[in-house]
Chain A
Amino acid sequence: MLNLKLAFRNLFRNGRRTLLTCLLIGFSLSALIIVDGIILGMSKLLVESATHLMSGEAQVHRRGYLDSFDVDLYIADPGALQATLERNPAVAGYSMRVMSGGMVSSPYNVAAAMILGLDAGQEKSVSRISESLVDGEYLSGMDTELIIGSDLADLLEVKLGDRIVLTLSQVDGGGISQELFRLSGISRFGIRELDSTTAFINLDRARGMMGMDTAVHEIAIRYAEGEDSANRNHPLLAELSNSEYEALGWKDFNASIGTMLETIDLVTIVVGMILFLLASFGVINTMFMSIYERIYEFGVIKAIGTRPTDLIKLVLCESFLIAVGSVICGTLLGGAVSYYFSVSGVILGEFEVSGIAFHNNIYSVLEPAQFIEFPIYVILLTVIASLYPAAFAAKIVPSEALQKSL
């Protein structure tokens, strides 16, 4: 109690220095809160863009399909999987897909493309294909409907209603299948790969062309709770997997994005460490200046019977109070700015990173950890940084200290 009282009053002996130190540490904390909020927002957007746009948060395939995209590796009877998905409360929606590489031909040009057969209704609960239309109509189940990406439409020099021929190979060594479609919609995802090489047709038509009956290549899944998507070991995935089929979370079938997120987390840690390392040097400097200014006083205090450990406690109390003041400043400032960005967003415009399209502002994400864990780290780090000056103070020899400053 005595140390706390002394420490508190000592902080006001050089109020400007104390304030500047608090601001230095506080700004570091607020910067970390702001950066972490933006990075969490960016990660969230990255995940949403990666999963909600097209792929879903989890997928089921025949084992080996993702390695080769061999059309013969299909799920022959998806009924049992479908029943599992229907009764599992963790599932918000799923969509069955047929996929094959093929040729897209217009009267003016020909291009290779990935042709996806979709269930129009199911797909709305998993992906944003219906929202990506910039012209025309979404699939309604009619046989001749075809949606292609905007860049592919430009390449083929086609407009809505134009005739387009899709050519693809049938499964299990069947022949070539070639059928006529009418362009019913043009999509734009903002991702070059999707916009220039993708064509969507109705699921039944695709199955028919490929000779697949009720089979599918992929079942894309959306979880009811967003947090489930990060769980690589979600029980649902185990339930859907067996020796023949493999259910994977998005971090596994889209490993590059998972790695990117891990890199982003690492960057946050590194940024945090740099910020707090700099702040720690500030604390060490401040505490040393404060001790050097009071070296005679420390000599007197020791001379009248204060133990070295009590001096350590005094210096640590001072740094603890500085840390508490800094945390209050930093949390308020960082929280206010982060809250502003969580509401207004950070304007980035439209861009693509590693095949992921960013259309929207990044909205900061406020997490309890930013206001509980980060401040605790700051307090601990500040107190730890003060151990060195505190040890110095404890080693002051009274007879030497008393020769100074008079």
Chain B
Amino acid sequence: MLIGLGVLIVLAGIVAGVLAARRALRVGATLGAQIRNGAWGTSTLAGSTRADALTRARVAISGLLALDQKECIYFVAARDDSGAPLSAGNEYEIRGEAPDSRWWSITVYGPDYFLIGNPGHRYSYNSQSIALDDSGNFAIRLAPDERPGHWLPTGTGRFVLNLRLYNPSETLRQNRAAVALPRIVRIGGNP
């Protein structure tokens, strides 16, 4: 009787370990973000051979085949500047200046981390495809339906943004928590 109870306790321990791992991979899983900068998060270890087991697993789920930070820094946002989850029920504007990197892009993904289907195949803007204003700033509207100017469709549910900075400047690499990144502001929709 006691031995049977002992076996059950050990099995419960194993199940608890697996569930704890699953929970760790689900909570804030996006690229294993360790550094916050406004709504954006990034990891110094994404793609790195120095990554710990948890970061490696998180990156495998949400950013498999990520490049080492020397080549590219990935800033991911699942929330807006107020901290609310990004949702297609709202409309947002991404505003900011061009990041200090060789080239950059902003892409919208669904909650499964794949591109969101739309008839015009609009998924992203990059530093060559976007127009900057006279001050060197840009603005992109995020909404399910077409908007004037730069616009990216957001599908029907939650979504995430990935800001990729290829060959980032040394200044940017050293100041990831403090450099000016685009703001993500809700401009309409459900409060």
A and B are interacting partners: no
Listed in ascending order, the chain A residues whose CB lies under 8 Å from chain B are none
> Which residues of B approach A to under 8 Å, CB–CB?
none
